[in-house]
Amino acid sequence: MGKKIWVIEDSPEKQVSATRTSQTNISTFQQKNTEQRNPSLAYSLSIIIWGCGQFYNKQWRSGTLFFLFMIMFYAFMGIAVMNWESIASVFESVYVNRSEAFIILSIFYLLGLLVWHYNAWQAYFRSININQKAPKGLKGTLLPGVCSLLMPGWGQLLNGQTKKGLFFVLFFLTGLVTLPFIVVTLLVWPTLDASRSRIIIEWIFSISVILSPFLLFIWIVNIFDAIIVSMDNTKKESLRIKIKYATKRFRYHIQVYGWKNALLALIKRSTLAILLLICCGISYHYVPKKFYMQQLQNIEKQMSEKDMTVIPTIIKKLSNNVILDK
């Protein structure tokens, strides 16, 4: 005879309850793993205090390392600046002259800048990976312009423009290397030993001086760009879409206001650029070249008194070319 088998099943109420519980656990797990992060905030935190962006992204180990490196970097650079004579004496005790010691400290300063910005960018891209989507950026606020005033590229990142922000940040890093190098070199130059290392320092100093006006121009452009993009969300689109929007807007102005008023509005937007070109033309024609050459000759004299040769040589060649043109 066949045996009877009794099967005990859960009641429908218990099955429904178990299903709801499992769904709740799954949704809670997904919510924890898809918790949103603000890339701009992560970048800003790490720029202000190294590692804070990593703490915001819950990267505790990386954040701690970056924070400790920040303390070491500022402490060492502070000691080097305030006690240059003592530091130079320590280097001389191990047969490293002052010029070589200055180059070593400059390299350490450059490495510190690279780590500083690497820590900020790592926090930024980590937030993007957590969100699994591109940042949208801020809208209708002057905050990006203020941040770009403090640090080129920062405002572009607040606007959600990663590539453009990286472009301006590279110029900012160049400025952080060149401008302090000019000031510090002028201060410590009389104490440096006349050697091949001092010639290298002078070449870097000369390149920094030449780059300074260009970096200032890029800094101003970056401020205006951050403000304009923040106020007009269409500026964040690709070039093809921007041209499409501009064409539609111009057609709309023609239909509503007519050709004359549409062209007048276009000219008004270009007034700043036109005035800048006019000022450049006036200064070129009415300000004599002797004025500029006199200023350059004064710089040449001052540099020569400091036993510099690179910039005085460049000025002499430029002066000779001007004389030959006449």
The per-residue pLDDT string of the chain (326 residues; one tens digit each, 9 = 90 and over) reads 455 555 455 555 555 454 555 554 544 434 444 478 888 889 999 999 999 999 999 999 999 999 999 999 999 988 988 888 888 888 888 888 888 889 999 999 999 999 999 999 999 999 888 877 777 766 667 788 888 888 999 988 888 888 888 899 998 998 888 988 888 888 888 888 778 888 888 888 888 888 888 888 899 989 988 888 887 765 555 556 556 655 666 565 566 666 666 566 666 666 766 776 677 666 656 656 666 677 777 777 877 777 788 878 877 777 766 554 55
Given a contact cutoff of 8 angstroms between Cβ atoms, the answer to whether 148 and 156 are in contact is: yes
Cα dist. 267→37, 177, 264 in Å? 43, 39, 5
Q: Where are the domains of the chain?
A: 37-135, 136-236
In the prediction, which pLDDT does 313 show? 81
Angle at 74 between CA 82 and CA 119, to 5 degrees: 155
What is the value of pTM for the model shown?
0.70
pLDDT of residue 74: 93
Q: Tokens 């549409």 label which residue?
A: 262
Which residues touch 209 (CB under 8 Å, ≥6 apart)?
182, 311
CA distance 72 to 49: 13
